[in-house]
């Protein structure tokens, strides 16, 4: 197991989450690094809101062909921006990595199915 120096008292403690320093009581937390929290918050917001915005965009642009193509482009950009691959250094556990990948794949496959059905409705396929 990896050891780290306690930021409060400089004694050696385990690097695992939840480890408490026996001397000063410092707890190793999830976001001890100051630059990781904003990036994780951005990724989480992208994971939650962009698929919802894509869904609404696809519904609202399915009126005619040209607006729908615009909606598909917006969906593709949002799917690219919210891809967990670009945020892979934020994941601490394998569970997080697998969870976010599964959610991203599921949501985007449902949106692609929706796009396919609208394309059939508009008789573009």
Structure tokens at 89: 């250094």
Specify whether 60 is located in the same domain as 111.
Answer: yes
Q: Is 39 exposed, middle or buried (0-12, 13-18, 19+ CB in 10 A)?
A: middle
Structure tokens at 93: 């556990």
Specify whether 83 is located in the same domain as 37.
Answer: yes
* Per-residue model confidence (pLDDT) at position 17: 65
* Per-residue model confidence (pLDDT) at position 36: 63
Would you give per-residue pLDDT tens digits along the chain (125 residues)? 677 788 788 888 877 766 788 888 887 765 565 566 677 778 888 888 989 999 999 999 988 888 999 999 999 999 998 899 988 888 877 888 899 999 999 999 999 999 999 999 888 77
Specify whether 97 is located in the same domain as 61.
Answer: yes
- Domain span at residue 55 reads 33-121
Specify whether 66 is located in the same domain as 15.
Answer: no
Could you tell me the end-to-end alpha-carbon distance of the chain, in angstroms, rounded to an integer? 56
Specify whether 50 is located in the same domain as 63.
Answer: yes
Specify whether 12 is located in the same domain as 43.
Answer: no
Domain count, the chain: 2
């Amino acid at each position: 197991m990896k050891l780290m120096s306690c930021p409060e008292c400089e004694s050696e403690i385990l690097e695992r989450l939840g480890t408490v320093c026996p001397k000063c009581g410092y707890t190793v937390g999830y976001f001890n690094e100051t630059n990781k929290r904003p990036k994780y918050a951005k990724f989480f917001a992208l994971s939650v809101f962009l698929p919802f915005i894509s869904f609404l965009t696809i519904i609202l642009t399915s009126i005619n062909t040209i607006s729908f193509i615009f909606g598909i482009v917006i969906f593709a950009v949002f799917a690219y921006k919210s891809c967990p691959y670009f945020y892979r250094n934020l994941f601490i556990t394998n569970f997080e990595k697998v969870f976010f990948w599964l959610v991203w794949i599921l949501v985007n496959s449902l949106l692609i199915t929706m796009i396919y059905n609208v394309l059939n409705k508009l008789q573009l396929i």
